[in-house]
Structure 1
Amino acid sequence: MKRIINFIFAVLLSPVCLFAQGQGVTQCGTSTGQYPFPVQSYIELSDPSVPSSQQWSTMKQPCVSWGTTDVRYAKHKLPVLKVQKNISLTGWRGEKIHAQAVVWTGTDIDKLNYSFTEFKNGKGNIIPASAFSGGFVRYVMTDELNKDGRGACGSRPDHTIYDSLLVADGIDHLLEFIPMEKMSTRAVWVNCRIPQSAIPGLYKGTVEVKDGDKILSVLNMDIRVSSHTLPVPSEWTYHLDLWQNPFAVARYYQVPLWSQEHINAMRPLMKMLADAGQKVITAAIIHKPWNGQTHDYFESMVTWIRKVDGTWAFDYAVFDRWVEFMMSMGINKQINCYSMVPWELSFQYFDQASNSMQFVRTAPGESEYEEIWVAMLSSFSRHLREKDWFDICTIAMDERPMEVMQKTLKVIYKADSEFKVSLAGNFHKEIEKDLYDYCISIGQCFPEDVKVRRHTEGKWTTYYTSCAEAFPNTYTFSAPAEATWMSYYSAKNHLDGYLRWAYNSWPKEPLLDSRYKSFAAGDTYFVYPGARSSIRFEKLIEGIQDHEKITILRREFTVTGNKDGLKKIERLLSPFNLSSFPEIPAERTVNKAKRILNTL
């Protein structure tokens, strides 16, 4: 047995692929003109949109202004902005707030950089400069919706049929400065995590934007700190479930899978996810649960072994390493294990008799399927209980038919009747009571009585978006406020949170090209290598925080009998309707709601 495990670990710990050499190539076959898989610094792809000399001819000096976080400012177009040197933000203590400064220039800038002062109120209290962070907004290649404009699913073998353009999305905190070529635009993203200990009041400070040591502009910022306090992200009630892909990290960073180098590469990425309020660990317990739909497919974190005598054994070393690592990052509320019903009904195992990897094809309802899975789940149950993880673990499936789910549930409960089950898919009243974590697509609705009962039972009730939706969504070409809109929609419908299938399932060169062969650009990831955030991810966090604020205020107003406050919340949420898209932009609905929310 020890020899078998050593053989399997030798395979798992071998390099994911040969170390990158030569020039990189994107998913679409575009040469990057630089080494593959950059981390610290990189050169953006050429912009298909050529700057207009006539349009830029009036620009003699660099111009700096506050912009809005609702706009992706194009690289080679003059921004439609009236220069604004002052901006006012409002936030709760503990809230992360943000702004976007925009620089555009008709001449070259050698070393664009920025710095923050400490912020003070009239009584001398401060928000220290350490509460602020920022990054240069980077440009990545994107595409568009399907030609019918109704969604973004389906094979995209030839990207020449889709418009391709550079779009602002990634937020690069690793660079101290960045050069700007003439006739170009670059934004600076500014974050402030208001200390929970901050004294309520109005704080004033500045952001200096410079070319080297030369000040280009001093931008003024006011921050009004509310008396309300937002808990730390680990204490948010919002059920955030963005699926993680550790295999993409190993490939991109060119490190052996599950090595210490791999763990170290994932650490800042997963810390960033924990700081967004993530609750769920994504674990693959079979080979290719989604039939390899991502550039880096999911390998099993559990080693399945069929012994010479035909009985089964299972090794959980990799599963344990992954779960323990994620818990050390603060993501420790739930483990979703995929999937008993993969898209390709084929299950890989190590065959002791032939000393090789083999597959068995079987489906729910067949005796062989039941035999295999009862053996696995019985063993898994014992292991989870030994690790004290059983109560937070679910056997998870996604987008599976009701009849298949019913057959699968029988097998699960035969192995251990106390297993929790989760499903992301259509609503089925016949199996709803069996599902601890039930997530349906945004176009469907839970019955009101079901939501109420599930809440009293301590079950999670959420929704998801996918490539099936044109609006709202989180593609790299989506309006940024659509990511915020998501959580207001969840709050309106009294849901617990949101699921998206891909936190970091990167295409081949994600820093440069967000397009992918099967989905619209950006569908497969929110964040970038180097633990770089994105406009989409920051706006998603904005909405999650607002959902949490609404939850806190609803609870407070209910306890105090503040019926007027409860009515105001329902009124601010009433415009969040799917039917509003695309005629009413997400930013219009979100910003109006935020103004009301900040007065409560």
Structure 2
Amino acid sequence: MKNIVTLMIAVALPVLMAAQPQSSFKLEWASTGSHCVIGGGPSLEFQKKAFNHVAWRGEKVFAQAVVSSEEELKDVRLSVSDLRNGKSLIGAENIRLQFVSYVVSDLLDTTKYGQCGSREDKSKWGEVLVADVLDINDSMTVPAGRKQPVWMTVSVPSDARPGKYSGKLTVTSSNAKARSLNVELTVAGHVLPPARDWAFHLDLWQNPYSVARYENVPLWSDAHFEAMRPVMKMLAEAGQKSVTATIMNRPWNGQTEDAFGSMVTKIRRIDGTWLYDYTIFDRWVEFMFSLGIDKQINCYSMIPWALEFDYYDQATSSNTTIQATPGSQEYNEYWGSFIADFARHLKSKGWFEKTMIAMDERPMESMQEVLSLIRNIEPGFKISLAGNYHEPINHEIADFSEGFAPKKEFPESAKARRKELGLTTTIYTCCAEAHPNMFVISDPDEAAWLGWFAQAENYDGYLRWAYNSWTLDPLTDTRFRTWPAGDCFVVYPGGRGSVRFSKLTEGIQDFEKVRILRAQWQKEGNEAKLAQLTEVLKPFTSDKILEEGPAKALAAAKSFLDKQ
């Protein structure tokens, strides 16, 4: 009897399991220019038509789909087929699918343009969940009622055959029937060069100290460098040009969660002479160079926010700090010896021509004192500045980044003159601008808009003061004690990108496309195309983005590019 019952159960079980109702879910394409927000803020825009992009060979193309269900979905997984064009294909290995994870963000102050200032009392700034993290997990559970974004990155091979490719994006769940979306990609004949060859001057300041703290590894250990590799590799793939190096302790007075230390040890011997140890500086620069970030080394700073300067004093066997103002005898003695030795070291490494003494938002009088000191010791040293325009020293600044503002103080004639002299001129945003920006809550299209604005206003690129100065727990809560959430980082630990960083890359690629097409049309004498391009770029102004946002101008500009 027992065997008969067992047999009956064994036969009936598959029937019972098959009869169990399965959950269902929606799978829809959505705009990459908006994001999922829970608790308020901007809403996600769904696409009314199937995914159908035009891409250049060598380009990264981004798309967003959204999974949603009234019931919990378990063990949700993503897959994509090869994209085929007859006998040609873009293999699935060139396509990356990632779940977009939610993080806590605050909101902007809509009563004013500038967003700087204390946010210690988080209750004053709202609290929402924003889907921003491009995560690295293979599967996840999607809670009932939640919109779960999926981010797709197609890296079009540089040798792909032009034409129309098609394939499928598929989402599966252990308790729901799989669903798919069609993917169609038209590959144009144009070729986008590798990121390291882009002309766009991208300068996002790196914070190696933040990685060491978050990953709980000894600073400058092998484990530290390995933890930094996936983070900095993403930056290289976006076309980053500059290495952020610190030549003194706490150049920004510890404003971030992880203060920057000095990568150069300064030792004052008993006899009063100086010794400098460049071991950490060299290893950091060589590491970044190995990833392809090797155009420029920006060294901060001879004018820190707090005019305090550190060294190790052999006479007292202690770390010592002095206070000195630019132009004073103490200041010139401290820095004069270093400038001479630093130049010698850089020349021995073959790095002198790439190195900048970098400053940000400093008074002109202080900068003039520093410039005088540097020129008297090593006239060949180049200078970088992020801050306000100063006519008397404009020609002295090899790399100048101007703060974005609705009313510009930087004359077009001065910008043009810099271009003639081969000097680099970029734009930067920080907490001073509500729009455009790259806060977690910012419209993602604003990040792409920046590349087009740089083209329209004849800038060479874009600077942001913080690439990865993470909060205590950035994968959960992006809010900080000062500035809007996300102001101090645009990527996440462990090689996790973000929606906004992807959109910045998109805008940089568009900048490069325009540059290539303009050069081609100028060579051909195609005045009609050049005139059309001029019209396309006209809406990219600081006034227009405040009036109507970024989407309208971007849609028209991208439509123009797709037809070329």
- TM-score normalised by L of structure 1: 0.88
**Aligned match for 2:105, one of 116, 120, 142:** 142
d(CA) in 2 for partners of 1:415, 1:96: 46
Matched, 1:318 2:280: yes
Contact 1:208 1:215 in 2 (8 A): no
> Following the alignment from structure 2 to structure 1, what is the Cα–Cα distance between the partners of residues 526 and 348?
47
Check whether the contact 2:31–2:45 (CA below 8 A) recurs between aligned residues: no
The residue number in structure 2 matching 1:260 is: 222
Which amino acid in 1 is paired with 2:465?
W
Q: Which residue of 2 aligns with 1:92?
A: 56
1:547 maps to: 511
The residue identity in structure 1 corresponding to 2:126 is D
CA distance in 2 between partners of 1:484 and 1:559 (Å): 28
Local SS of the residue matching 1:241? strand
Structure-2 change in CA distance of 1:207 and 1:60 (3 Å): closer
If each structure's helix is expressed as a fraction of its own residues, which one has the higher value? Answer: 2
Task: For 1:461-480, list aligned pairs within 5 A.
Answer: 461-480=425-444
User: What letter is aligned with 2:230?
Assistant: P
Measure how far apart 1:454 and its partner are: 2.1
Equivalent residue of 2:112, what SS? Answer: coil
1:445 positional shift: 5.0
Q: 2:393 aligns with which of 431, 435, 452?
A: 431
Partner of 2:118: 155
AA aligned opposite 1:130: E
What residue is the counterpart of 2:6 in the other structure? Answer: none
Match of 1:286 among 233, 248, 266: 248
Q: CA deviation at 1:89?
A: 0.7
Determine the C-alpha separation between the residues in 2 that align with 1:311 and 1:216: 72
3-state SS, counterpart of residue 235 of structure 2: helix
Say whether the 8 Å CA contact 1:284–1:338 is kept in structure 2. Answer: yes
Separation in 2, partners of 1:225, 1:324: 37
SS in 1 for 2:547: coil
Counterpart of 1:207, as a letter, is L
Whole-Å separation in 2 of the counterparts to 1:369 and 1:320 = 25
The Cα of 1:75 is off from its aligned counterpart by 4.6
Change (3 A) 1:220 1:76: farther
Aligned partner of residue 414 in structure 2, secondary structure = helix
Which residue number corresponds to residue 459 of structure 1? 423
Q: Aligned with 1:380: secondary structure?
A: helix
Instruction: Tell me which residue corresponds to 1:217.
Output: 179
Q: Is the 8 A contact 2:74 2:175 kept in 1?
A: no
Q: 1:311 offset after TM fit, Å?
A: 1.7
Helix, strand or coil at the partner of 1:100: strand
User: Which of 157, 163, 167 does residue 130 from structure 2 map onto?
Assistant: 167
TM-score normalised to structure 2 length:
0.93
Alignment of 1:410-425 (within 5 A): 410-425=372-387
- Whether the 8 Å contact between 1:138 and 1:168 is mirrored in structure 2 is yes
Native 8 Å contact 1:569 1:597 kept in 2? no
How far has the Cα of 1:401 moved from its partner?
A: 1.2
State the 4+ residue runs in structure 1 displaced beyond 6 angstroms. Answer: 76-83
CA contact (8 A) 1:438 1:460 kept: yes
| 1:147 to partner: Cα distance | 5.9
Matching residue's letter, 1:364: P
Give the one of 96, 102, 108 matched to 1:133: 96
Unaligned runs of 5+ in 2: 1-21
* Equivalent position of 1:4 in the other structure: none
C-alpha separation between the residues in 2 aligned to 1:478 and 1:147? 12
Report what 1:31 is aligned to: none
SS in 2 for 1:169: strand
- Greater radius of gyration (CA): 2
Kindly provide the CA deviation profile for residues 444-496 of structure 1, in whole angstroms up to 9, marking residues without a partner as x.
35433333332232211111011000100000000000000111110001110
1:68 to 25, 31, 34: 31
Amino acid corresponding to residue 249 of structure 1 in structure 2 = V
CA distance in 1, matches of 2:130, 2:297: 35
CA contact (8 A) 1:152 1:467 kept: yes
1:296 counterpart = 2:252? no
Contact 1:306 1:351 in 2 (8 A): yes
Map 1:396-411 to 2 at 5 A.
396-411=358-373
Cα distance, 1:84 vs. partner? 5.5
The aligned residue for residue 480 of structure 2 is 516
Do 2:120 and 2:480's aligned partners in 1 also have CA atoms closer than 8 Å? no
3-state SS of 2:501 partner: helix
Aligned residue identity for 2:362: R
- Assess, with a 3 A threshold, how the Cα gap between structure 1 residues 550 and 319 changes in structure 2: closer, same or farther: same
Residue pair 2:469, 2:489 contacting (<8 A) in 1 also: yes
Question: Is 1:207 matched with 2:169?
Answer: yes
Aligned-pair identity in percent equals 44
Give the corresponding residue for 1:229. Answer: 191
